[in-house]
Homo-oligomer: A and B are copies of this chain.
Amino acid sequence: MRMDLNVDCGESFGAWTLGDDATVLRHVTSANIACGGHAGDPNVMRCTLRLCRDLGVSAGAHPGYPDLQGFGRRALPLAPDEIANSVLVQLGALEALARAEGVKLAHVKPHGALYTRAAADREIADAIAGAVAVFDRRLILVGLAGSQLIEAGRAAGLHVAREAFVDRAYEVDGSLRARHLPGALIDDVARGVAQALSIALRGEVLSWDGARVRLQADTLCIHGDTPGAAARAAQLRRALEEAGVGVSPLPALYV
C-alpha cells in the first residue's frame, strides 16, 4: 500500500505571492509546479524547483490554460492542437529550468479548467496525453481517478497516476460532487483523514449520501492555499503512515 501526496505550488507571479510553498512542501511527496501559463514566471519557477530539490520533493509540471488574469480557471476556447502546443511550451519551459537546477521532472498534472476539461473531454485529454508522450514518455500523467485523462494517458502509453481528494465528496458514480451542491466540501479534518484512509486501505470511499464507491487512487490532492493547510497535510500524512500506508512520491509507483 502506497500513496503519494501532491500539492500545487509555484503559483506566485512577480510581486504577487500565493500560498506558502516553503511550509506546505515539507509535508507532501509531489509538487505540481505552475509553468507560466496560469501562474509562475521564470524566476518563480526556478525558485520553486530549487525548493523542491532542497526539500526532497518530487517535482512535476502543472500546465494550465495560458491566462494569468483568469488563473487558468476559465476554459479558453482553444482547439486541441492549440492546447497541445500550449502544454508543450509549458513543459519545455519548466524542464529547461529544471536542468539548470539539476532536477528531473517526474510527472505532469493539468491545472484548473484544463484539469476539469481533460477529465470529461476525450479530445482534450488526448491532446494533453499526446503532448506529454512526445515530450518525454517517462513522465507520469496525473488525472482525476476514473477520468478521460487517465484513459487517454494509458492509450498514449504513459504511466498514469489516479488522483483522489480528501476534502471533496464523491457521487455514487465515482465522480466528484459539484462544488455548489450541498455536502460537496469536506471541511472537517477528521472526516477528510477517514476518507483518505478508506481510499488508501480499501480502495473505496463513501459517497456523500453514504453509498460505498470503488475508488482506486495513487495520489491525494492537498490544497496548499487554505489557512492551516500545512498542519492538515502533516496530520493526514501521519495518519496514513500509522495505518501502514507508504507515503512516497509518484515515481515509486513505477519502479
Contacts and interface: CB of A to CB of B under 8 A. Distances in A.
Copies in the complex: 4
Interface in A139-196: none
Contact of A14 (B15, B70, B75, B96): B70
A42 B86 contact: yes
A97 interface: yes
Contacts of A88: 42, 46, 93, 96-97, 99-100
Contacts of A17: 16
A208 interface: no
Nearest to A75: B77
A74 interface: yes
Given A15-B73, A73-B15, A86-B42, A131 B100 contact: yes
Interface in A49-73: 66, 68-71, 73
A134 interface: yes
Given A13-B69, A69-B14, A89-B36, A100 B134 contact: yes
Of all A-B residue pairs in the complex, the 3 with the closest CB atoms, nearest first, are A92-B96, A16-B16, A42-B85
